[in-house]
Amino acid sequence: MAISALTPPSTGETSKEVLIEFPDNRLLIDLCGEYDRNLADIEQQLSVQIIRRGNQLAILGEEAHQKEAAEVLQSLYQRLETGKSVEHADIDRELRMGGSEKGTGARDGDQMELFKGGKVEIKTRKKLVEPRTDAQKAYVQNLFKNEMAFGIGPAGTGKTYLAVAVGVSMFIGGHVDRIILSRPAVEAGEKLGYLPGDMKDKVDPYMQPLYDALNDFLPGKQLAKLIEEKKIEIAPLAFMRGRTLANAFVVLDEAQNATTMQMKMFLTRLGEGSRMVITGDRSQVDLPRGVQSGLRDAERLLSGIKNISFNYFTADDVVRHPLVAAIIKAYDADSERAMADKA
């Protein structure tokens, strides 16, 4: 790839355009996307104009934005050169993280192959998962580094999704013998009444988000077999009492709905060779009025203990629809105003 800066000859403007030349025209087609939608995404986010001229892309706009767009295009093209595809999520990640993943060096150990060249990549059976924000990247690194990790923040920030992805990666890599996923069976502000069926039928609706994540990482038949063999367990938090979870990757989702005693019970299940991840959103507590969230107590009591990490996410880390981030920010702003009025 060659980059040059040229003053447009057809205008009297003094601003220069940045011109990037791509040697492989087939990869350039993939870079631009169907109907140039990838270029349109970059143009919209960075307030630049990108014009295709043969095997070159010309970038027009403010100098700082031109430079950022050029870096994003180069990084995406290099991704294509390695045989990977470029999807909207990849563009979003490059726009959010920029050059923060470049040149940070590789780590030792076979599971740390995920961090070659500073990139963080989680390999599963069905897909390669890559963090899309700096907070997500730090979170994934702590999931591998620490025996116990907390991920705290609003919905849509990838807390549970990334935890399950790391669990699957460590399982298929032979670092743990099983995966155990759990969450409190607490209704979110609604009374659903009695559910039909056996115990599995009754609790599965509460566990569905965990099934959804697993289905993204493992083929359906393999997942069903692993569940049948108890290599993967999905169970309500109440089912954890009395167990010692050794050589397992254990995830507690929606931990804000665990009581203090439930949280203590869960955390003390940790056995030899195991990793434990606790995720939650302090703004979505569904416990009865007056019942203290165990997640808040855990933060207060455990934040200074070695090998326990706490990672926090904000609305800026939301990777669902952009409206989700806007909604979370609106609610947060309203809460802050209400607190200020009380003060």
**Cα–Cα distance between 194 and 230 in angstroms, integer?**
27
The pLDDT-based confidence of 331 (bands split at 50, 70, 90) is confident
CA atoms within 13 A on the CB side of 340: 6
- Tell me how far apart the terminal alpha carbons of the chain are, to the nearest angstrom: 58
| pLDDT beyond 70 at 246 | yes
Q: What is the per-residue pLDDT across 63-85, written as a single tens digit (0 to 9) for each?
A: 889 999 999 999 899 989 988 88
User: pLDDT tens-digit profile of 189-229?
Assistant: 444 455 555 556 666 777 888 899 999 999 999 999 999 99
User: 289 falls in which pLDDT band (50, 70, 90)?
Assistant: confident
* CA dihedral angle for residue 28, residue 95, residue 84, residue 119, rounded to 10 degrees: 140
Q: Work out the mean pLDDT of the chain and round it to a whole number.
A: 84
Most confident of 34-48, 108-122, 190-204: 34-48
229 vs 341, residue with greater confidence: 229
**pLDDT value at position 169?**
95
List the single range of 59-73, 120-134, 175-189, 231-245 with lowest mean pLDDT.
Answer: 175-189
- 310 backbone dihedrals φ, ψ, rounded to 5°: -125, 120
Provide the pLDDT for residue 118. 60
How much of the chain, in percent, has pLDDT values that exceed 90? 49
What's the whole-number mean pLDDT along residues 22-32?
A: 91
Interior angle at CA 94, CA 89 and CA 95, nearest 5: 95
pLDDT of 47 higher than 70: yes
pLDDT greater than 50 at residue 108: no
- pLDDT, tens digit (0-9, with 9 covering 90-100), for 143-160: 999 999 999 999 889 999
Q: Residue 112 CA to chain centroid, in angstroms? A: 18
CB 148 within 8 A of CB 270: yes
- The domain 2-97 having CATH identifier 3.30.930.10: the answer here is no
Domain boundaries, the chain: 2-97, 110-342
At the topology level of CATH, where does 110-342 sit?
Rossmann fold (3.40.50)
